[in-house]
Amino acid sequence: MINVTIWNEDSLDATHEDVLKVYPEGLNGALADFLGKNENMNVRTANLDEPECGLSDEILESTDVLLWWGHGKHHLVPDELVKKIHNRVLRGMGMVFLHSAHFSKPFQSLMGTTCSLKWRDGDRERLWTILPNHPIAKGLPEYFELEEEEMYGERFDIPQPDELVFLGWFSGGEVFRSGCVWYRGLGKVFYFQPGHETNPTYLNENIQKVITNAVNWLAPDEVVKEIECPFAEPVEASWNERHPNHKI
Ligand code: ZN
């Protein structure tokens, strides 16, 4: 089973009415709804208003894949928590950053850059699957469209992605690296651009497929307790002992 934690800055009570019109159960509810249908996933949700921002050590240490959606409250996430999240990714946890989470502290920490971009509300987006053999792209068409999505445009101030799976094109003419993978330590990170809170993006079947594929692929076999830096005896020592006249 994959333990999935979906984190959103807003609790349902704190969610703006324009968002509730599209997602009556909030963004966490919408994401949990389709991910929760997978028999191999244990899905839970967390938000900023909960004790310890919803991510106590116990919850974080039992999370295989963490999804993160935030927009206006990035600064309220404590730096101490950001360090813990970063460390767990280095030890193997998978992490999916959605849409405006590009400016979240954990994403900036994992990238080491500002993660800035251009934006404009209300464009049409065409998403191109440019790495069709990638596990995150499994079952996706060559391209698909979102009637309304916020334009995110280049230059996106990120380190060069290790794998670029989706490219977004917008009706205003801009392009964007919309689906990017990075390896960080033993963990994998996926950034996925669609998901503006007042558009029904997370109800789109293709979007749901991308996020489901991502959770399956980012899930580690194991998250190690710590990254060690051990002294190592020579691997070939036994050969030398067995062949004293032919030392290498
Ligand atoms: Zn947005």
CATH number at residue 103: 3.40.50.880
Determine contact, residues 4/67, Cβ cutoff 8 Å: yes
The pTM of this model reads 0.95
Count of Cβ atoms closer than 10 Å to residue 90 Cβ: 17
Question: With 70 as the cut, is the pLDDT of residue 166 above it?
Answer: yes
Distance 224 CA to ligand 1 centre (A): 35
pLDDT at 244: 76
Could you tell me if residue 96 is inside a domain?
yes
> Ligand 1 centroid vs 51 CA: distance in angstroms?
26
How many Å lie between the centroid of ligand 1 and the Cα of residue 170? 14
Q: How many domains does the chain have?
A: 1
Q: How far is the CA of 192 from the centre of ligand 1 (A)?
A: 12
| pLDDT > 70 in the chain, percent | 98
Residue 140 lies in a domain: no
Q: Is residue 12, in this structure, part of any structural domain at all?
A: yes
98 C-alpha to ligand 1 centroid (Å): 10
Q: Is residue 195 part of a domain?
A: yes
Whole-number Å distance, alpha carbon 197 to ligand 1 midpoint, is 6
In-domain check, residue 219? yes
Taking the centre of ligand 1 as the mean of its atom positions, its distance from the CA of residue 198, in whole angstroms, is 8
**Quick check: is 73 in a domain?**
yes
Cα of 60 vs centre of ligand 1, distance in Å, is: 26
The per-residue pLDDT for 233 is: 85
Using the mean position of ligand 1's atoms as its centre, give its distance from the Cα of residue 128 in Å.
Answer: 20
Average pLDDT taken over every residue of the chain: 96
List pLDDT tens digits, range 112-149.
999 999 999 999 999 999 999 999 999 999 999 999 99
Average pLDDT over every residue of 159-185: 98
User: Going by DSSP bridges, is the β-strand pair 65-69/94-98 parallel, antiparallel, or unpaired?
Assistant: parallel
Q: Which amino acid is at 22?
A: V
- Give me ligand 1 centre to Cα 75, in Å: 17
Ligand 1 centre from 116 Cα, in Å? Answer: 13
C-alpha 175/C-alpha 127 separation (Å) is 10
Could you list the residue range(s) of the whole structural domain that residue 82 is in? 2-112+178-223
Ligand 1 centre distance from Cα of residue 33 (Å): 21
C-alpha 16 – ligand 1 centre gap (Å): 13
Q: How far is the CA of 110 from the centre of ligand 1 (A)?
A: 21
* Amino acid letter, residue 65: V
Question: What mean pLDDT comes out for the span 5-18?
Answer: 94
Say if 199 falls within a structural domain. yes
Residue 158 lies inside a defined structural domain of this protein:
no
Give 248's pLDDT tier (boundaries 50, 70, 90).
low
Q: Which residues pair with 55 in a beta bridge?
A: none
CA distance 189 to 239: 41
